[in-house]
Chain A
Amino acid sequence: MFQNTVKNWHLLITIIAVTFSISYIFNQFLLTRDIYYNTFQSQLESARIDELFDLQLKYLWIGYLVIPVWITLKNLIITLCLQIGLLLNNSKLKFSHTFRIALTAEFVFLLPQLIKLIWFLLVKTNYTLTDVQQFYPLSALNLFNIENLSALSIYPFQTFNLFEIMYWIILAGGIKQALNTDINKGIKVVFSGYIPALALWLLCVMFITVSLSPAT
Chain B
Amino acid sequence: MKNKLILVLGLIALGLGCLLAYKIAKKYPHNKEMALQKQTLPNFQLYSQNLKPFSAKQLKENEAICIFYYNAECEHCQYEATQINKQLTLFKNVQIVMISTNKPQETANFAKTYKLDKAGLIWLYDKDYAFYKWFGKSVTPSVYIYNAEHKLVKEYTGEVKIEAVIKYLDNGKEG
Q: Which of A129-137, A160-168, A171-179, A202-210 contacts B (4 or more CB under 8 A)?
A: A202-210
Q: Which residue from A43, A48, A200, A206 sits with its C-beta under 8 Å from B24?
A: A206
Q: Which of B53-61, B93-101, B153-161 contacts A (4 or more CB under 8 A)?
A: B153-161
Let me know if A211 is at the binding interface, CB within 8 A.
Answer: yes
Tally B residues with Cβ within 8 Å of A. 30
Let me know if B44 is at the binding interface, CB within 8 A.
Answer: no
**Interface class of chain A by DSSP:** helix
Q: Are B17 and A152 in contact, with the CB atoms below 8 A?
A: no
Could you tell me the distance in whole angstroms from the C-beta of A197 to the nearest C-beta in chain B? 8
Could you tell me the distance in whole angstroms from the C-beta of A195 to the nearest C-beta in chain B? 12
Residues of chain B with a CB closer than 8 A to A196's CB: 13, 17
A210 to B34: give the CA distance in the assembly, Å: 13
| CB within 8 Å of A: which B107-148 residues | 136-138
Q: Which residue from B10, B28, B31, B83 sits with its C-beta under 8 Å from A214?
A: B31
**Interface class of chain B by DSSP:** helix
Size bracket of the A interface: 20 to 34
A216 to B6: give the CA distance in the assembly, Å: 35
Residues of chain A with a CB closer than 8 A to B79's CB: 48
Q: Are A207 and B31 in contact, with the CB atoms below 8 A?
A: no
Which are the 8 A-B pairs with shortest beta-carbon distances?
A203-B20, A210-B27, A45-B161, A207-B20, A214-B137, A216-B31, A43-B160, A200-B17
Q: List 6 A-B contacts (CB under 8 A).
A: A45-B161, A48-B159, A206-B20, A207-B20, A207-B24, A214-B35
